[in-house]
């Protein structure tokens, strides 16, 4: 195939990925909207503040079936520990009912198909331009959308995080839509400063870290949105755990990306650090996430306070990835918009 045909094929794959992500979002939303409500507090830990003793129990009011002489079925009783189903067995509050679970499984399959289409768009774009396909904002946003979905899907392989599905899918679909409508750049060569093997090292690390940090940001936003008591959303404990694990993995990758960027700057411009806006905001983002991790380890921050710090860091990340490239001129202004 010619370069033009490959570029056109890449564009079609992007459109296919958007549609599949949207359909997956609908399926995940159905599962979440009609699934079983979950209590806010699990594992004996309060949803906000510093963790307390793990042997504390949480009292949850839930309809249970009662035996003869104890009342009629459906009476509300107060029970400590796990929820009890009408048949007398324990209920896992993290799992939806069987009907909505099917919608979630179909959505998960559609998400994997969208992921494959997103990957095909990146590969075909790279073949068309004969270089690493993240030399401008269009290619960069397509790659970050792919990284965010990758983080979600591979986390799902080990932990049940389908509750994040609607929000990750809409984030990826909006990202690809933004790339096509605002940042689109025709396939072609890059500026001389980007024509280096360092693009495969520095930018790839930044994309991987950004995908994981986007997953953490989605979990953090849901933490603040979730109300007290029973909710279709998972407990704040689960949301905070997902966000923290993603950041713990992403932070060293982002650190490596910043260091690799400094080495590339020395090769391209003869200095490691020049206080370019992109360099400044990359460092600010690093400091913000370092503050989040430091607060958790040394001060024992948990809950809302830690989540707010995490979301402030996520805001720095988004401004660094998009705002600096679009609104601030500098050596890293490759948005082409």
> H helices of 182-332, where?
198, 204-225, 236-269, 277-294, 303-318, 324-327
| Global confidence as pTM | 0.77
Structural domain contains residue 237: yes
Determine, yes or no, domain membership for 262.
yes
Tens-place pLDDT, residues 204-221 = 999 999 999 999 999 999
Is residue 12, in this structure, part of any structural domain at all? no
pLDDT digits (tens, 9 = 90+) for 80-92: 333 333 344 334 4
In a domain, 15, yes or no: no
Residues 58, 152 share a domain: no
Sign of the alpha-carbon dihedral angle for 228, 233, 238, 239: negative
Span 33-61, average pLDDT: 48
Same domain, 80 and 137: no
pLDDT exceeds cutoff 60 at 51:
no
Counting the structural domains of the chain, the total is 2
Question: Which pLDDT band holds residue 13 (cuts at 50, 70, 90)?
Answer: very high
Do residues 212 and 262 both lie within one domain? yes
Residues 6+ apart with CB under 8 A from 275: none
Residues 207 and 295 in one domain: yes
Q: Give the pLDDT of residue 322.
A: 83
Virtual torsion, Cα 276, 278, 280, 282, nearest 10 deg: -150
pLDDT tier at 297, thresholds 50, 70, 90: confident
Give CA–CA dist 209/92, Å, rounded: 32
Beta strands in 20-173 (DSSP E): 59-63, 76-80, 83-84, 90-91
Same domain? For 315 and 230 the reply is yes
Q: Tell me if 3 is assigned to some domain.
A: no
H or E segment at 8?
helix 3-34
For residue 299, the enclosing domain spans: 133-327
Does 87 lie in the same domain as 138?
Answer: no
Greater pLDDT, 197 or 148: 148
Is 80 a member of any domain? yes
Q: How far apart are CA 174 and CA 22, in angstroms?
A: 9
Instruction: Give 251-278 pLDDT, tens digit per residue.
Output: 999 999 999 988 988 887 788 888 888 8
What is the rounded distance in angstroms from the CA atom of residue 337 to the CA atom of residue 327?
10
| Residue where a domain terminates, one of 32, 63, 92 | 92
253, 138: one domain? yes
222 in any annotated domain? yes
Structure tokens at 244: 């923290």
Question: Does 142 lie in the same domain as 227?
Answer: yes
Q: Are residues 141 and 83 located together in one domain of the fold? A: no
Residue 11 included in any domain: no
Mark whether 258 and 205 lie in a shared domain: yes
Could you identify the residue written with the tokens 């948990």? 302
């Amino acid at each position: 195939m010619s370069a033009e045909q490959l570029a056109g094929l890449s564009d079609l794959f992007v459109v296919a990925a958007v549609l599949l992500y949207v359909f997956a979002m609908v399926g995940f939303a159905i599962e979440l909207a009609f699934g079983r409500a979950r209590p806010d507090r699990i594992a004996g830990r309060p949803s906000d503040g510093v963790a307390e003793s793990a042997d504390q129990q949480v009292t949850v009011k839930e309809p249970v079936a009662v035996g003869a002489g104890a009342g009629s079925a459906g009476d509300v009783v107060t029970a400590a520990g796990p929820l009890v189903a009408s048949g007398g067995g324990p209920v896992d509050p993290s799992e939806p009912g069987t009907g909505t679970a099917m919608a979630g499984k179909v959505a998960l399959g559609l998400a994997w198909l969208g992921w494959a289409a997103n990957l095909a768009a990146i590969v075909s774009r790279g073949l068309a331009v004969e270089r690493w396909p993240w030399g401008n904002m269009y290619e960069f946003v397509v790659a970050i959308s792919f990284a965010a979905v990758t983080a979600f899907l591979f986390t799902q392989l080990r932990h049940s995080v389908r509750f994040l599905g609607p929000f990750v899918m809409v984030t990826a679909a909006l990202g690809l839509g933004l790339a096509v409508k605002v940042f689109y750049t025709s396939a072609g060569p890059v500026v001389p400063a980007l024509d280096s093997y360092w693009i495969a090292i520095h930018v790839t690390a930044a994309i991987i870290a950004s995908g994981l940090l986007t997953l953490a940001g989605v979990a953090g936003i849901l933490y603040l949105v979730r109300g007290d008591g029973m909710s279709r959303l998972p407990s704040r404990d689960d949301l905070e755990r997902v966000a923290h694990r993603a950041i713990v993995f992403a932070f060293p990758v982002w650190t490596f990306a910043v260091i690799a960027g400094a080495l590339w700057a020395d090769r391209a411009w003869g200095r490691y650090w020049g206080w370019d806006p992109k360099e400044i905001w990359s460092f600010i983002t690093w400091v913000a996430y370092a503050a989040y991790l430091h607060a958790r380890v040394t001060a024992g921050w948990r809950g809302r306070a830690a989540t707010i710090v995490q979301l402030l860091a996520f805001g720095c990340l988004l401004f660094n990835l998009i705002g600096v490239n679009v609104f601030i001129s500098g050596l890293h202004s490759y948005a082409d918009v």
